Structures are given as structure tokens and as C-alpha cells.
Structure 1
Amino acid sequence: MHDHTADLTQYEWPTCTACRKPLWENEYERQICRPCEDKTRVRLQELPGLFAQLDTTAALMRGASGGGAPTSGSKTPPIPPRLEVLNLVAAGGMATRLRDIEDAWRNRLGWTVAPWRGSPRQAVPEHVRFLLNNLPWAADAYDSVAQDVEDIRRLHAECAAAVANERKPGRVKTGLCPVRVDGQLCRAQLTAVATNHRIRCGTCGTEWGDLGAWRELRQQQDAVLAEAAGVAA
């Protein structure tokens, strides 16, 4: 006689492959539970907005120095070089990480790889749109979806942390004030934050209010350094 009691004691109730919690009875054929799917959907929906904020900050960083590198001879970048921000918005950052997930899903579905989406700014919304449209399928039937859910969670956390840091930016030194007051160099320490276009000298009151003015400031500082080097020579 077959022992059905033994069968029941050996039975393992299916669990979500992402959070490992038991699935509800109406979820037992799914790969991940509905709460994990819902959280992933919200994170995907928020990624384009987070990217836009970080891309604006990265543009300020690159524009202020005329291409991302300090002017020759200068020791202090005009605004903080936030590597975590630059890494997220550059090629190989958010857009590439989302593309890799899209390509994995396309491969499992038997579709061609993702078409070229353009720059990271153009690509992120397109990759997100694909993933949102196909998330219900992945949640139900893609046996490797748990890793992608974790990758999306980690990517969202990195972006949210970078944006939060921008909301509470620290000040960094941006060189000495090169303005002459009554024939004497001011030489007060200047500071800036990545989210503010304005640099103001607290001693002489001179302001540099946009990216063009920041480049002019850098040129003035380099001129003072060159003049000092000539005197020293």
C-alpha cells in the first residue's frame, strides 16, 4: 500500500526564486512572486528619471573642464569628479547593463539581439520599455529571472544613492581666486558643488555663474600660475 503521508512530508512547497519566500497557491507555477515582480516594475519605471538626473550632473562635470580633464598645469578640477555618476551614465554603465538583460531575455525568447539604441541617453528608456513589456513573461517563465531581478535592484540602488548624494553635495576646492584687488591677487580659496552653476569668492565677491565663466576662471588661474612660474624661473 502506498504511503501518501510520506509523500506529503517530503513535498517541498515552491518558493520565489528571487526572495525565497513560499509562493501563494495561485503563484506556484511562477518563477518569482508578485511582490518581487511589482518591486522590479517600480524600479524599472524609475530608472529613466534617475538616469536623466545623473546625466545632467555628468554634463556639468565634463562641460566645466572643457571635455572632462583638467586644463594642463591645473591641479584642481572645477567641480567634483564623481566617478560613480560618470560610470553610470557612460558607455558600459546603466544602458549596457540593461541591454545585457534585454539580450538574455531575447535569446531565451528566440528573438534577435537588441537593436542599437543610440547614445546611453537614448538607449536607457528603450531598454526599460522592453523590460517592462516583457516582465510578466519573465516573472512567469524565465528560469534565470532571479539574477536579473537582483541586477535591476542593485542598479536602481546605485543610481538612487548617487542622486541622493547630489541632493546633499559636499563642497570641493576649485583653486584660488585669480582676481586682482587694488593691484594685489585676491588668492582666496574658491569652492564649488556639482549641482550649482555659481562659484563665488567670499573675499572679493567675484562670481562665475555658468560653464563658460568656469572655463574663463580656469584660464585666469592658469595665467596666474604661469606668471608665478615665470617669476620663480
Structure 2
Amino acid sequence: MNRTEAPEPRCTICTRALYADEINRYACHYCTRRCDEQLLELAGPRGLYARLSTRLAPGSGSDGPAVSGSRNAPVPLRLDVLNLLTAGGPILGPLETWVRDWEARGRAELNEAGTLQQRVNHAVGTLRFNLEWAVVNHAAFDEFAREIHLMYRQCTVHVAGERPPIAIPVACPCGAVLRVGLDTPGVRCYGCQTQYGHSEVLRLPMAERRAAA
């Protein structure tokens, strides 16, 4: 009689096999801790979200004051940074969306009162407080962690003056071309819906130039 062995429990983010004390979790301790640390970096008066306001002037960066290489008057504000600071932008918007999701499960409370900074602080505090619950009970924890990582990267690119990571095209066996970087925590193929972890997606072959174009 043939027996089908149960698949080995793995972290849904890095896909590493889970240790014995991680079996009931959707993510390993390392990925959970990284998510918590990135959330913490976003909030507070010296956090990444607050420091974005120092990068609003055209040409502002970590190396000195704003400069303009054009004879024309510079744009008053950097619209890409301003978008990150808006209520519906890619930082506060997704944070409060996740708070609403967890609120519907009785694990959080949304607070849209106060300044945008106060709302970010509240959302981050609420999500961090319930992080251990989520990693055990929320089936979309991997999606949540990847969104937090994306917010963190979007902020650090501007605040620390880092260059955006170079994306390289890799080929999924289904024929879809995925663009990934060395810091990509994982990706879902848009063609066949296969979920790849960090190490798995980096092992995919490079896409041919014609397919990647």
C-alpha cells in the first residue's frame, strides 16, 4: 500500500523548511522578525515615513541641499515622494487596509483621526502588536510581509539615497517572464500562479532577450 507523505511545512515567504517550533506558523522566525523590524523603521518622528518630508525638494538627497541643473524654475515638490506621503498613497493606504482586514477578524482597531504621521504610527503599532497572531492565523501573511517589505524599500530608496535594485528578467517554466532583484523576497507568477520563494526565484533561468523585451 503506497503512502503519500505530507508535504514538508515551509515558510511561505522564504520557503525554507520550518523548524519544529515553527510548524504552526505561516512564516519562519527570521521572516517574521524582519517584517517586524521593517514596520518599526516606518513609524515614529525619526522613522522612514517622517524622513520622507526632507526629500520633497527637487534634487534633495543624502549628500546635500537641493540643486537644479536646469535654467528653468524647478518643480516645487518631488511628486514621487509626495505620493508616498499622501493618505491614499502606497504607505499609509496599504497599512490601513491591513488594519481594516485585521479589524474584521477582531484583532485590530482602525484610527483615522489625527495627522497622517499619527495614523501611520497607529497602524504600525496595531500591526506589530498583532504580528504573532497573524503569523499563526492569517493565511495571507506572506502577502502582508511582502507589502511591508515593498513599503520599506520605497522609503529607503528616497531617504537613504539608494539606487533602486536592478531587476533582471527570469523565465518561469510556463513561459512568463518575471523581473526580480537580489532583494526580492518572493514572487507569484502572473502566468501560472506558481509562488516562488527568494531562493527559488533566483534559481530560475535568465529569460531570453527577445522574450524579456
Q: TM-score, normalised by structure 1?
A: 0.57
Alpha-carbon spacing, 1:155–1:78, altered in 2? closer, same or farther (3 Å): closer
User: Which residue of 1 is the match for residue 136 of structure 2?
Assistant: 140
Is the contact between residue 35 and residue 149 of structure 2 (CA under 8 Å) also seen in structure 1?
A: yes
Counterpart of 2:138 in structure 1: which amino acid?
A: Y
- The residue correspondences of 1:176-187 to structure 2 (distance < 5 A) are none
How far did residue 135 of structure 1 move?
0.4
Unaligned runs of 5+ in 1: 62-73, 167-233
Give the paired residue count. Answer: 147
User: Which residue of 2 is the match for residue 57 of structure 1?
Assistant: 55
1:117 and 1:134 map into 2 onto residues whose CA distance is: 21
1:117 and 1:23 map into 2 onto residues whose CA distance is: 40
Counterpart of 2:11 in structure 1: which amino acid?
A: C
Unaligned runs of 5+ in 2: 59-70, 163-213
Counterpart of 1:17 in structure 2: which amino acid?
A: T
In the alignment, structure 1 residue 89 sits paired with structure 2 residue 85: yes
Is the contact between residue 98 and residue 124 of structure 1 (CA under 8 Å) also seen in structure 2?
A: yes
Alpha-carbon spacing, 1:110–1:152, altered in 2? closer, same or farther (3 Å): closer
Alpha-carbon spacing, 1:36–1:110, altered in 2? closer, same or farther (3 Å): closer
1:117 and 1:50 map into 2 onto residues whose CA distance is: 21
Is the contact between residue 27 and residue 135 of structure 2 (CA under 8 Å) also seen in structure 1?
A: yes
- The residue correspondences of 1:99-110 to structure 2 (distance < 5 A) are 99-109=96-106
Matched residues, percent identical? Answer: 31
Matching residue within 25, 37, 45 for 1:42:
37
Q: TM-score, normalised by structure 2?
A: 0.62
Alpha-carbon spacing, 1:42–1:76, altered in 2? closer, same or farther (3 Å): same
2:121 and 2:113 map into 1 onto residues whose CA distance is: 9
How far did residue 164 of structure 1 move?
1.9
Alpha-carbon spacing, 1:11–1:52, altered in 2? closer, same or farther (3 Å): same
Matching residue within 119, 125, 134 for 1:123:
119
2:80 and 2:15 map into 1 onto residues whose CA distance is: 31
User: Which residue of 2 is the match for residue 150 of structure 1?
Assistant: 146
1:117 and 1:133 map into 2 onto residues whose CA distance is: 19
Is the contact between residue 117 and residue 126 of structure 1 (CA under 8 Å) also seen in structure 2?
A: no
Counterpart of 2:13 in structure 1: which amino acid?
A: A
How far did residue 161 of structure 1 move?
0.4
Counterpart of 2:14 in structure 1: which amino acid?
A: C
How far did residue 120 of structure 1 move?
1.3
How far did residue 107 of structure 1 move?
1.6
Higher Rg of the two aligned structures: 1
In the alignment, structure 1 residue 33 sits paired with structure 2 residue 31: no
User: Which residue of 1 is the match for residue 198 of structure 2?
Assistant: none
How far did residue 141 of structure 1 move?
1.2
Is the contact between residue 117 and residue 123 of structure 1 (CA under 8 Å) also seen in structure 2?
A: yes
User: Which residue of 2 is the match for residue 12 of structure 1?
Assistant: 7
How far did residue 78 of structure 1 move?
6.1
1:152 and 1:160 map into 2 onto residues whose CA distance is: 12
1:157 and 1:78 map into 2 onto residues whose CA distance is: 24
Is the contact between residue 55 and residue 158 of structure 2 (CA under 8 Å) also seen in structure 1?
A: no
